[in-house]
Amino acid sequence: MKTTLNFDDRLIRAAKVRAAEDGDTLTRLIERALRQYLATSVSTARPFRAELVVKGGQPVAGVNVDDRDALYERMDGRG
């Protein structure tokens, strides 16, 4: 499949040099990198689990997990 992608110029230049050093094409280098990334990222990903802020077994007063802005203020030390 053909597709068009926009990459940082320095990144592509370095990738072309590396592919040439390995006696390979840029396309094959990118394919290998994608395959490796997809193979490792799926198997090593851990599900995210949020936990309530508790102290002494009770939720911390003033922390409302339904209020995103209040949570950010609390994390920034403003609340």
Question: What pLDDT, in 10s, does the model give residues 7-25?
Answer: 999 999 999 999 999 999 9
CB atoms under 10 Å from CB of 45, counted, come to 8
**In whole numbers, what is the pLDDT of the chain averaged over residues?**
82
In the three-class reduction of DSSP (H, G, I as helix; E, B as strand; rest coil), residue 45 is classed as coil
CA distance 73 to 38: 36
Query: Which tokens is 24 given?
Result: 């390979």
* Average pLDDT of span 61-74: 76
Q: Where are the domains of the chain?
A: 9-44, 48-79
Q: Write down the pTM of the prediction.
A: 0.50
